[in-house]
Amino acid sequence: MYRLGIAIVVASSLLPCPTAAAGFDLLNAGVRARVGEKRVLGQVAPESFNAYDLVATVRLPWQRYHASGWGVGTRVIASAGVLQGAGTTALVVSAIPVLAFGSQDGRFTIDLGAGLALISEHRFANQDFGGALQGALTFGVSAPLYRRSGIGYRFQHYSDAGAYGPRTIGADFHMVEFTYRF
């Protein structure tokens, strides 16, 4: 409850974006792929996964930036892709609202958020996610690569948080992102 109160205070102190008339602004789009090991927040997962996504980031109207161009804003990261493991391939779509700290133009960003993901298959041999609806936690860092292109790192965690029972386990993804900034 304490963390929720902080999030509400931070979100309510943000000002609407004067440049986004409809309240939404496409910031960037790109691709990302999983790299790394098969741990789940400190535990070893029964299966190893590959993940590949198309991703788009939409700027929301609540933000506060200083004259220097640095500050905080809200965004939604939407993705669609595949999750492969144990000979099974599943479609995954997600929408994750994030709080982003960095430059107003989106070139340098550190973000964190929580949202939802849907997976078309939740059983992968020895690993059971429990069901199609998963909670999704994320943390990311991005920087410019060349002109409008950028590179980033994203940690993403899918889990049912025990909603489907005590024997389910989620998955962690360390991902590399390549984006094009609009």
pLDDT digit string (tens) for 8-63? 334 434 444 444 445 579 999 999 999 866 666 767 778 889 999 999 999 999 99
Give the C-alpha separation, 175 to 136, whole Å: 14
Give the domain ranges of the chain: 2-181
**Which helix H or strand E contains 90, and what residues bound it?**
strand 88-103
Give the C-alpha separation, 70 to 90, whole Å: 39
Nearest to 25, CA basis, from 73, 65, 94: 73
pLDDT band (50, 70, 90) for residue 91: very high
Question: Residue 103, Cα to own-chain centre: how many angstroms?
Answer: 18
Pick the CATH number of 2-181 from 2.40.160.20, 3.40.50.2300, 1.10.287.90, 3.30.70.100: 2.40.160.20
DSSP for 99-146, written as a single string: EEEEETTSSSEEEEEEEEEEES--EETTEE--SSEEEEEEEEEEEEEE
- Residue ranges of the alpha helices (H) in the chain? 2-12
Per 3-state DSSP, what percentage of the chain is helix, strand, and coil (rounded to 5)? 5, 65, 30
State percent of the chain over pLDDT 90. 69
CB 28 within 8 A of CB 178: no
Going 38 to 94 to 116 to 153, the CA torsion angle's sign is positive
CB 60 within 8 A of CB 75: yes
Mean pLDDT of the 107-127 span = 95
Give the C-alpha separation, 134 to 116, whole Å: 6
61 - beta bridge partners?
A: none
Give the C-alpha separation, 169 to 134, whole Å: 11
Which pLDDT does position 48 carry in this prediction? Answer: 86
